[in-house]
Amino acid sequence: MKQTIIYLRTSTEEQNPENQLKDCEALAHRLNLIDYDVLQEKKSAFKDTAKRKVFDLIKKAIQEGDVKNLIVWDYDRLFRNRIKTIDFIRNYSGLGLKVYSFRQAWFEDIKKIPEPFNDMMNDLMLQLIGWIAEEESRKKSERVKNTVVKEQGITKSYKGNKWGRKSIQTDRLRKEVLQLKEQGLSIRNIAKQVYYYDKNNNKKNPSIAFVHKLLSNSN
């Protein structure tokens, strides 16, 4: 692994890391860090449970003294959590790492402020940047939740994709199956009348065996 790393992170499969790469490479050339490796992954940096194998490899290389420069498109590519971002930059700076951000390139000017005010401004701006990243994640989460709609008892996103656990569909099917059974319909006819949505949002009828299982578990 080279001493300079461009780390690209996107949180979903829909986002394109190439958009970040062009800006990060431009920053690397401005810094005269033209010999670098580009590492990328598509993982969330907000959830504590999210495992980022690429980022973990970079941290290990920093600890071993192999990586000295880390270039990211935005500081929130490191973490969406303010405290984690600050701790990472502080702790790994002690190991000789320099972190550069394309979107916060102006941050380098703070280092030119006379001591001790440069350290004071450095901490203040890191706190501010981290807080903004947290706010953006929170607002995005709220926007996504607000786009969720319900259609015939099934929770869907604005794109029509299903949300929620499969048990929600099963509960609805069980109620409909029981109602039709009380009306005297055969299992075969019940299977023709009830429906569910598969993972591709296609409307389908359950199998006779599935209807029989629902009835058996309800007795």
Say whether both 27 and 130 belong to one domain. yes
Among 92, 103, 40, which Cα is nearest to 69's?
Answer: 92
Say whether both 49 and 87 belong to one domain. yes
The residue among 144, 176, 210 that closes a domain is 144
Say whether both 197 and 123 belong to one domain. no
Say whether both 136 and 182 belong to one domain. no
CATH code, domain with 81: 3.40.50.1390
Q: How many CB atoms lie within 10 A of CB 46?
A: 18
The residue among 144, 160, 193 that closes a domain is 144
CB 147 within 8 A of CB 157: yes
Extract the runs of DSSP E, i.e. beta strands, from 21-118: 37-42, 69-72, 98-101
Say whether both 127 and 174 belong to one domain. no
In order along its 219 residues, the chain shows pLDDT tens digits of 899 999 999 876 556 778 889 999 999 999 999 999 999 998 876 665 668 899 999 999 999 999 999 999 988 888 877 778 888 988 898 899 999 999 887 777 666 666 766 666 666 777 766 666 666 666 666 655 555 555 444 455 545 555 454 554 677 888 888 989 888 889 999 988 888 877 677 788 888 888 888 888 776
The residue among 109, 144, 179 that closes a domain is 144
Say whether both 63 and 155 belong to one domain. no
Say whether both 22 and 83 belong to one domain. yes
Say whether both 81 and 53 belong to one domain. yes
Say whether both 127 and 157 belong to one domain. no
Residue 63 to residues 60, 88, 97, Cα–Cα distance (Å): 5, 12, 9
Say whether both 50 and 81 belong to one domain. yes
Domain that holds residue 155: 149-218
Say whether both 130 and 164 belong to one domain. no
Question: How many separate domains does the chain show?
Answer: 2
The Cβ-side half-sphere exposure at 98, using a 13 Å CA radius, reads 12
Q: What predicted TM-score, i.e. pTM, was given to this entire model?
A: 0.56
Say whether both 72 and 176 belong to one domain. no
